[in-house]
Structure 1
């Protein structure tokens, strides 16, 4: 059975063994070491800043910054933030990993090649262990929508009830660079589909924005080895694009990672127009803030009257 938000495993999953990697932080430019470790039942996904000895649960309500990445931090401890978690979160979510400890020795997860594929490789090497604990799913019961502004072409994102159990997604993007332009993608997101369609899509930026980003202390570790850079009609990377629609694929990959911070698989239909990290997080907060918009359901028994409501985590 495919393991993501779509057809979730019946039982909670963790890793079989620990595995690590070393890379560079996309925005900090600092060397970053990361280790994925198994975790006990019902532990959830937790990031540990080993340099500070601080644990930060991977939760939507702990998102601290959404400028060009998703960063989390404990309340009142912004110095202990951890950034660029969305790609590893997307890989863990796609593989149905519920419980894991992720150790990082600095302020940012390594960017590696700018996609989720290297994190899938690490998970595959570590192996996946299925536990005895049943898995629960967040079933969306009514539409929840957030919008950037009142402008006619404002960015927006929404979650709708799904006609069938699982996670379906439709996303459109629109960029001034003709190398990107308007792109759209609609798919049912399963583990197999994530691996085939989304996983190796890389983060991207416009060449005209690089100097501005670096002046703001961002993208200091960015290069053509870990990001797609476009300049008008040109793709500056020597190998070009991995897919003609690589950019919208990556944006949908980000949606998977950002909504993975809800802490459980979703049974829902996602729609978005020019949605990014900020709107993805606003959508997660809006959903959980409305106890009439969702319920817990046992994986595999969606739609049956076996669910129980609970109060959402305070956002």
Structure 2
């Protein structure tokens, strides 16, 4: 009888340990900010792309938080490239890739076309470095408009990409993963799917992406309420809050104010902010304490290979006129047409 009681006690003790290990450190909510750095299509708004990115990233830096920035080729072909390069020096930001053009539909392309496009996109982001100062490692990808297919998966695997952020919890998911809120490995591939969080509004699950709210006629107050309510909802649960931000929406105006207000709300409640690659590591290891993570972001100090693809510039550059040699060689796309 005593033996049975002892075994029951041990079973309960181990169960409690396992449950505790899966909870965020000290009960803190885990928050991941994914920034879709978009290129504004109209010429007269070209400078808005730079201002909106600076507004969001300055806000994050002022609060000493972390985030992941996804950039497409069309954005990195503009002066915003210099801003991305500076951000690559800051270990609070992870630089990741996002196709060729803002709002593209990559699934309409063949495998060979997608492979060439994604290979070039990876090189574009990797080139956003300062020679002699750092190297950039691209771990992740976010498809424009959440549009992709199996050919995209194959191309990502061939490039060694670790995660794909083109998923939404309960809305866009792989078979058998409808309920998953943490990153999970996509069956048959090496990379992990990172689902954006969703929130129920009037019985309908909607993605926590600012552009979805704006496009569906919801204002910044409703956006803030959704973020704050979802944050409250996950308290005490083993569930991260993954938020998708676009610079075209949250980079200015009321949506910017809503983001600022939400970040303060989360910080007052001791939220832990992580990058997407750190979130993937947490999913792989079961570690919920960000301070215990081993993953680097994208920053390697003391780069010794000032390759031709790098941008040679003064670390203290504040505008393009101060750049020593802001010339980036053309990046081959394997002569594919897409």
Q: Which protein shows a greater Rg?
A: 2
TM-score under structure 2 length normalisation = 0.24
Q: Which has the higher strand share?
A: 1
Q: Which has the higher helix share?
A: 2
TM-score under structure 1 length normalisation = 0.26
